[in-house]
Structure 1
Amino acid sequence: MKTGMVPLTTIQLHSTDLNALQDELSRRKAEAPALFAGLPCLLSLADLPTDVAGLQQLVSLLRQHGLALIGVRSCPAELATELASLQLADFGQASRPPRSKPAEETPDKSTTDESGCRRAVKVHEGNVRSGQQLYFDGDLYIIGMVSPGAEVLATGDIHVLGVLRGKALAGIKGSPDAIVSCVHFDAQLVAIAGHYQLFENGHALTNQSVLVRLDDDQLVIKGAEK
């Protein structure tokens, strides 16, 4: 057995109205069908009024839309005994992610975010091949290509000094100030702090140098100034 850190999407519901959830999930799935196909995720039960029957219905609805629900966060004590029958793991209470600290082995390689916290920096030399996933807790620089079907994830920024053809997910612990940049843009998906956009039909800035940032919960993609 080998332990490791695997980032998971957490679903935070603001309603238990099944009809409303059905409509919203259908809409989002239509926008991004590839993202919903077997996406491993957790369900946050924090401040979500529900009983055993309600939890069963929510889990069933999420799974019907292709989400691979594997566990819950902030589960009330009265629902804990129901998790085993739903094949769900208890991931404990949700908490705010700790502020990143610079890696001790590379104290000279760090950046500072808007809150003043220093973030560690990793430089990956070489291509990230299809089917590979590269994760780093800090800012990630890739000197090479991110191939179609590859994923690069970071809690900070992601900079691809080459062609981005796969998926790039920055600020995955909820940092809205994170950015994604690349020399040649041809991505399948880009996300910042959980806000994502798929590019199944390409983009107007394909094969150009771009900078992606979050502005009022909307992804903004800008080409490099000439």
Structure 2
Amino acid sequence: MSENTAASLKICSVSLMTLEVYEADLLKIEGQLRGKGKDAFRFFSKSPLLINLEPLQGEIDINWLKDLYTLLKDLSFLPVGISGTPEHLDVLAMREGIAVWNIDINTVAKKRDETNLPVPAKKKGKDSPLSENTEIMESAVRQTDKPDPQGRQSPEREKPPQSEVILQPVRSGQRIYAKDRDLIILAAVNTGAEVMADGNVHIYGPLRGRALAGVSGRRDARIFCQDLQADLVAIAGYYMTNEDLQEEKLNQAVQISLFQESLQIELLNH
């Protein structure tokens, strides 16, 4: 880089929290966000937030959008833009200095989900966890490659993504992201640290900070740790804070998976 270069543009990949809006009732939105609990506000305070309006039912205007921005800022979020809005509202939003992200979040998530393993159709909410005796089939049978009788070449299988391995403890303030792969940490993740992966997260030490698996939308991703003390765990955007963790699962070796919209925590070696 030249000594005279004061700045340069580069492209990087970052994880971003998304707020999906289903109703236009701002009071209801505020109540539900505040109801996430004090731990959630502590973790997400000053976090960049993308607003996805694609699922929204009902008509909205620019004044409603400005009120939503004000509400989120009052709740200590940092809105960075909107997505899924009608074209006429995009123009008005940009005039107000609101960034418009021209991506179809729902289509991306749908395509990602189509590659994942099937999940049971019956939906269970957060307040109705699965019975410990319930078995969820999460394996897929693939046919063995056979030679084509007409001599045609079989398409190459995709190579499984490599894993990123971290040997040292992850200190407070550090963030590690394993893109398109699993993350393996052979030490502790301390309070205030954040580890993320598009695939699974394996932690062979105490997990005291935050661990996020499937951050690009993989619902079949899992978190494995030897000592659960986490500030926060999340899979494909669904999360639990420390205050949500069951006491009997703390300080235990566990695996965490996503079933429908609920995180399931199972003890290992039991």
Give the match for residue 209 of structure 1: 253
Q: Check the 8 A contact 1:156/1:170 in 2, yes or no.
A: yes
Contact 1:155 1:172 in 2 (8 A): yes
- CA-based RMSD: 2.7
User: Corresponding residue for 2:69?
Assistant: 59
Residue 212 (structure 1) shift: 0.8
> Equivalents in 2 of 1:69, 1:34: separation in Å?
17
| Matching residue of 1:19 | 27
Work out whether 1:220 is the aligned partner of 2:232.
no
Going from structure 1 to structure 2, the CA distance change for 1:78 and 1:122 (only over 3 Å counts) comes to same
How many corresponding residue pairs? 215
Separation in 2, partners of 1:200, 1:184:
16
Q: TM-score, normalised by structure 1?
A: 0.83
Higher strand share: 1
In 2, Cα distance between equivalents of 1:198 and 1:26: 14
Matched ranges for 1:65-214 at <5 A: 65-84=75-94, 86-94=96-104, 95-96=107-108, 118-137=160-179, 138-200=181-243, 203-214=247-258
TM-score (norm 2): 0.71
Take 1:131 and 1:84, find their aligned partners in 2: how far apart are those partners?
34
Q: CA deviation at 1:175?
A: 1.6
Q: Is the 8 A contact 1:75 1:92 kept in 2?
A: no
Question: Which sections of structure 2, spanning at least 5 residues, go unmatched?
Answer: 1-7, 113-138, 143-157
8 Å Cα contact 2:39/2:242 also seen in 1: no
Question: Matched residues, percent identical?
Answer: 32
Q: Using CA pairs below 8 Å that are at least 6 residues apart, which structure has the higher relative contact order?
A: 2
| Helix, strand or coil at the partner of 1:197 | strand
Cα distance, 1:51 vs. partner? 1.3
Q: Is 1:9 the counterpart of 2:17 in the alignment? A: yes
Q: Distance in 1 between matches of 2:141 and 2:98?
A: 35
Distance in 1 between the 2:141 and 2:78 partners? 34
1:217: Cα distance to partner?
Answer: 1.5
| Uncovered stretches (5+) of structure 1, i.e. residues with no partner | 100-112
- Give the partner amino acid of 2:169: N
Deviates further, 68-77 or 149-158: 68-77
Return the alpha-carbon distance in structure 1 between the equivalents of residues 52 and 141 of structure 2. Answer: 26
- List per-residue Cα deviations over 1:26-84 (Å, max 9, x = no partner): 21244622133112110012243321112112222222212111111233221223334
Q: 2:88 aligned with 1:44, yes or no?
A: no
Give CA deviations for 1:153-196 in whole Å, capped at 9, x if unaligned: 11111001112111001111222211101112211110111111
Residues 36 and 67 in structure 1, CA contact (< 8 A), matched pair in contact too: yes
Change (3 A) 1:13 1:71: same
State the alpha-carbon separation in 2 of the partners of residues 114 and 11 from structure 1.
32
